[in-house]
Structure 1
Amino acid sequence: MVLYRVFQEAATKKYFSTVFSKATIFQVVVYCLMIILPFFIAYATNDFWHYTSSYQEQPRVQYLSQLVIRVGSAQNTTVWSSFSPDVTLAGRELEPNITFNETDRDGDDLTDFFRMTVSFNNLGHDVQTIQMLLFFQVDLNRFGFLEQFSRVTLQSVTYTSESWAVPASGVWLGGELELTQNAPLPASGTVNQYNESPVNSSGTESVDIADILSRYNERNVRVTWNNQYPIWSDEASNNFSIQVELRYPPFTVIYQPNFWQYLKFAWVQYLAVFVVFWWVLSYTQSFVFENQVIMTIRKQTEKWHSD
């Protein structure tokens, strides 16, 4: 009768020794190395603990119809502020004609583009420099799977200052809003301590542009006007217009991960190193005991399975 193999099982070798012996000490050292060394190597190669992480979110931005502006030259200046008399500006005050609109270009029910036109008529002087502050309400509220990230609500101010060598009749200003942080946000909760105007609201004293920006820059979370592209019209005129076009791209939010996020990234790195040490030290154990480098009592058990 012809026999064929239907199953096989390796022979089991068992090694015995007393509790206080070289073999026991060797095993304890091997297991300690197998567990501890991967941790130190993974930690020493940096980024074992992810102290910060980030995500992108499309902000909800709304222009607050608040504006501070100064236009002029070295000899004459015209100013206007929607905060008067809380904001002090040096120069002749003249209210401009202002039109603006916010649009949603990608159809996600969040505005992502802002256009404004500011026109001064009958200025009576040349314009070579401008300073402008625009005020926005910004909200961030992202939900993740089974978790919610920090909800951020703040009133922000964007600033631009541009100058030109010759008198001009207007300037076009492009750019985009960007989130700036001095420190990471918490993993969850509400950040609303900046949901107030950087302009002094007490009414007891007035402030100027420098005061507003100084107070605003002390905030951990703020929105700034970046990637500015000024284009001046080289033609002197008694009128002056400013056209502003701002994009609202997704913000990159930096936050401090919670415990489970720490553990998730650390565990992957530890396991990757642990597998290597487990293979090397397991081979070392097999070599030491099979060749009786350390004396033990060996017993072998064989199991045979047939049809």
Structure 2
Amino acid sequence: MAVFEIYSLPALYRYKSSVWSKASFYVLAVLVLTFIPPLLIAYRSQGFWITTNTYQEQPDVTYKKQLLIVAELANPGEYFAWSTYANFNNLLQGNLRVPQVSSFELDNNRDGLNDQLSLNISVPLTSSEQVVSVHLLVIFDYKLYRMSTFEMESMVYVSQSSALGGAGAKVTGDLGLYQRVPLYHRGTDIRFNTPIIDSTSTFASSYDLFTILKNYSQRNITTRLENSYSVWSPGRLPTEPFVLQLDVFYPTEVITYQPGFWELIKWGWVQYATILLLFLWVFKRINRTVFEGNVFNTVVQQPKVKIIKGL
């Protein structure tokens, strides 16, 4: 009857020695050289710990029905302005010009998140007035949920100008997230959920455009209009208003965040284990050569051979 090999096990040879022998010190040195250098190599290769990581998420953005508009006229020093803040409008006095404002947000893919804001501002003018520049601040509520629950009040700034008086301007772009620091990986983050414009203030300096933009730019996380395109329309008819059209899209963002402890460990272990496997393979070959060649005096315990009868 023919016999086939259906399973095999390696023979185990045991090499024994005293604690203070050369063989013991050799094994200790091999252990150190096997496990420590891979750790040093992984650490020095700029890839052991990850300080930041990224993920993609579409933000939950809502237009807060808050804005501030300032338009400069062709005559030097003349301007008009309006906002949704009563205290600012009171400060304007004769420079207040109330526009007609319409807005709507669209959820194009019906996922429960807004995808776009369309804003139309129509400002009445006299026949002799010519708008040469316009500045607009639009306020949003910006939220993220996938990692930490992040919420802030954000804005976009739109500025258009021309040497010639215009009938209006059309602007389109993406609401882009700008980060100087990573977000947290969990918890609630409301560090930047503070009013951009202090609507309770009765001082004109609180509504100065440069002051607002300067304070906003000092935040570590902001939004701004990116991938933007604009068209200035010249030649306004005397009876027509100045019309500013703004379309802002809310795209999916690449969010930078600070990894948690277990993510750090998982990433570090992958880097370490990859190099460790190579060292284990090399020193396994070296140890076999050393002990099978009797480089050190050791007691060899050979495996017992069992003979199974009946075949």
Q: TM-score, normalised by structure 1?
A: 0.90
Report the Cα distance in structure 1 between the residues aligned to 2:50 and 2:93, rounded to whole angstroms: 49
Worse overlay, 131-140 or 52-61: 52-61
Deviation, structure 1 residue 196: 2.6
Q: Residue deviations 1:74-119, cap 9 Å, x none?
A: 5232221222424767983211111110010011011111101111
- AA aligned to 1:256 is Q
Structure 2 counterpart of 1:62: 62
Matching residue of 1:145: none
Distance 1:77 1:292, change over 3 A: same
Provide the residue aligned with 2:106 in structure 1. 103
Q: SS in structure 2 opposite 1:12?
A: coil
Residue ranges of structure 2 left out of the alignment (5+ in a row)? none
Aligned equivalents of 2:202, 2:4: Cα separation in 1: 100
Give the 3 Å change call, closer, same or farther, for CA 273–132 of structure 1 in structure 2.
same
| CA distance in structure 2 between the partners assigned to 1:89 and 1:209 by the alignment | 14
Equivalent residue in structure 2 for 1:133, among 110, 130, 137: 137
Structure 2 counterpart of 1:273: 275
How many pairs are equivalent?
Answer: 301
Structure 1: runs of 5 or more not aligned: 143-148
Q: SS at the partner of 2:130?
A: coil
- Deviates most, 10-19 or 241-250: 10-19
Measured after TM superposition, the shift of residue 73 of structure 1 is 4.3
User: 1:202 and 1:290, CA in 2 relative to 1: closer, same or farther beyond 3 A?
Assistant: same
Q: CA RMSD in A?
A: 2.2
- Residue identity matched to 2:234: D
Q: CA deviation at 1:197?
A: 1.4
Taking the TM superposition and a 5 Å limit, the aligned residue runs for 1:45-194 are: 45-73=45-73, 75=76, 76-86=78-88, 92-123=95-126, 124-142=128-146, 149-194=147-192
- Aligned pairs (5 A) from 1:207-218: 207=206, 208-218=208-218
The residue type equivalent to 2:201 in the other structure is G
Q: Offset at 1:205? A: 2.6
Q: Classify 1:12/1:193 alpha carbon distance in 2 versus 1 (closer, same or farther; 3 Å).
A: closer
Whole-angstrom CA distance in 1 between matches of 2:258 and 2:93: 44
Identity rate, percent: 32
Match of 1:246 in 2: 248
CA distance in 2, matches of 1:201, 1:120: 22
CA distance in 2, matches of 1:272, 1:204: 64
TM-score, normalised relative to structure 2: 0.89
Q: Is this contact kept in 2: 1:8–1:305, CA < 8 A?
A: no
